[in-house]
């Protein structure tokens, strides 16, 4: 059946210097081949646009191998199985995994790199599986709880507060009885995290001084800072941390497109003064515990105590543009690309 289907793909053409540009991408198409024994054919429905993608485009050693030149760009996604020669997945079943920036994925159902697991659209809408119930949500959940170890009454600050990870960090922290202060770009995003997600306050870094905002909204200092942005905001928060504070290093979107060296936190000696720690988190370390987080957050969702927001862009070809939206802070909510609208 499958060799009538054309698979459109976006591949990495060159390693970007600074912001990715059009010539760093290659748009290709190829017919979908026949299935072999044990394989499945997946139709991509949604893919996740993540800050981490920028790192995957660089060469060199990191927590995951780089995307090779001419390889289909790596992307987490959700899709539906449309052909199967495997016992593991049946036609019509939904799954999540590393589908790549392409319309179809073909290969062994148990492919380790793809890491497919079944998802249930009855439990939550499909885009949720790329947001709170997907990688960003797992990152937020385990980063906050395992590295941050929040205690009721503590003050938690999270940057990128309206983004995929930030939304979940703040809401999980509220569920644990913390005071939660977001940092986001623009009044609209700030209003959203306060009014719709229930944060206690939000600092608009584009509209005023983060330092003043922290003074105002964190009168008892900062016990946990969940950092998604790095740069000046990290440095400013370091001046307001409490004794034994925990800083969770999840990302540094302000620095990913630098053509010069990354700006290290000049105020890192605040860690010494305050006997505080700064610790990195990579979500893959918690893969065996994803089900407990999914169960907990979907319960909160059903109870109306947990909300998410996605910013969904239409069409595979919009991928390069969507990625730039992320670096420019133009998305509002978890950024997702819908690949085959007719099948959503």
**Interface with a second copy, residue 264, by CB under 8 A:** yes
In this complex, which beta carbon is closest to a second copy, that of residue 48 or of residue 270? Answer: 270
Binding mask 218-247 for a second copy (x = CB under 8 A): ------------x----x------------
The answer to whether 183 touches 158, Cβ cutoff 8 Å, is: yes
Please identify, among the stretches 7-15, 60-68, 92-100, 115-123, the one whose residues bind a second copy according to the rule CB under 8 A: 60-68
Please identify, among the stretches 82-90, 115-123, 124-132, 268-276, the one whose residues bind a second copy according to the rule CB under 8 A: 268-276
Cα angle, residue 26 at apex, residues 23 and 31 outer, rounded to 5°: 170
The answer to whether 226 touches 248, Cβ cutoff 8 Å, is: yes
The answer to whether 10 touches 26, Cβ cutoff 8 Å, is: yes
Write out the DSSP string of 20-39: --GGGEEEEEEEPPPPPTTE
Distances in whole angstroms, Cα of residue 10 to Cα of each of 279, 326, 331: 34, 18, 21
Please identify, among the stretches 5-13, 120-128, 275-283, 330-338, the one whose residues bind a second copy according to the rule CB under 8 A: 275-283
Write out the DSSP string of 137-189: HHHHHHIIIIII---TT-EEEEESTTSHHHHHHHHHHHHTT-EEEEEESSHHH
**Interface with a second copy, residue 266, by CB under 8 A:** yes
CB of 156 to a second copy, least distance (A): 18
Residue 140 C-beta-side C-alpha neighbours within 13 Å: 31
CB of 64 to a second copy, least distance (A): 9
Write out the two tokens for 278. 């700064």
Report the residue from 35, 123, 145, 271 that binds a second copy according to the rule CB under 8 A.
271
**Interface with a second copy, residue 165, by CB under 8 A:** no
* Closest to 189 measured CA to CA, from 308, 336, 333: 333
* Closest to 72 measured CA to CA, from 41, 29, 39: 29
In angstroms, the CA 60 to CA 15 distance is 11
In this complex, which beta carbon is closest to a second copy, that of residue 54 or of residue 176? Answer: 54
Report the residue from 4, 152, 259, 272 that binds a second copy according to the rule CB under 8 A.
272
In this complex, which beta carbon is closest to a second copy, that of residue 33 or of residue 277? Answer: 277
In this complex, which beta carbon is closest to a second copy, that of residue 63 or of residue 113? Answer: 63
**Interface with a second copy, residue 51, by CB under 8 A:** no
Strand-pairing partners, residue 241, are: 222
**Interface with a second copy, residue 251, by CB under 8 A:** yes
**Interface with a second copy, residue 287, by CB under 8 A:** no
**Interface with a second copy, residue 140, by CB under 8 A:** no
In this complex, which beta carbon is closest to a second copy, that of residue 147 or of residue 323? Answer: 147
CB of 261 to a second copy, least distance (A): 5
Residues that bind a second copy (CB under 8 A): 61-63, 230, 235, 249-252, 255, 261-282, 285
């Amino acid at each position: 059946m499958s060799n009538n289907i054309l698979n459109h793909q976006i591949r990495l053409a060159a390693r970007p210097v600074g912001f990715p540009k059009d010539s760093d991408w290659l748009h290709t198409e190829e017919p979908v081949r026949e299935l072999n024994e044990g394989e499945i054919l997946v139709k991509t429905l949604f893919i996740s646009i993540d800050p981490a993608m920028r790192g995957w485009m660089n060469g060199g050693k990191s927590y995951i191998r780089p995307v090779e030149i001419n390889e289909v760009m790596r992307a987490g996604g959700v899709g539906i199985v449309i052909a199967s020669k495997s016992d593991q997945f049946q036609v019509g079943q939904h799954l999540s995994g590393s589908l790549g920036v392409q319309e179809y994925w073909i290969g062994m159902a148990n492919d380790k790199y793809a890491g497919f697991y079944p998802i249930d659209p009855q439990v939550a809408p499909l885009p949720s599986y790329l947001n709170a119930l997907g990688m960003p949500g797992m990152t937020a959940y385990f980063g906050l709880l395992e590295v941050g170890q929040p205690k009721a009454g503590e003050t938690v600050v999270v940057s990128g507060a309206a983004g995929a990870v930030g939304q979940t960090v703040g809401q999980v922290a509220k569920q644990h009885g913390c005071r939660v202060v977001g940092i986001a770009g623009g009044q609209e995003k700030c209003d959203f995290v306060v009014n719709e997600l229930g944060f206690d306050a939000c600092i608009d870094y584009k509209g005023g001084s983060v330092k003043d905002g922290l003074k105002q909204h964190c009168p008892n200092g900062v016990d946990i800072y969940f950092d998604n942005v790095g740069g000046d905001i990290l440095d400013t928060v370091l001046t307001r941390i409490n004794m034994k504070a925990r800083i969770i290093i999840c990302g540094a979107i302000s620095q990913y497109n630098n053509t010069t060296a990354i700006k290290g936190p000049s105020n890192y000696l605040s860690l010494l003064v305050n006997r505080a720690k700064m610790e990195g988190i990579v979500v893959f370390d918690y893969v065996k515990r994803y089900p407990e987080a999914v169960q907990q957050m979907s319960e909160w969702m059903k109870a109306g105590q947990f909300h998410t927001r996605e910013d969904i862009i239409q069409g595979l070809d919009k991928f390069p543009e969507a990625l730039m939206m992320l670096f420019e802070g133009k998305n509002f909510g978890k950024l997702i690309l819908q690949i085959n609208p007719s099948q959503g």
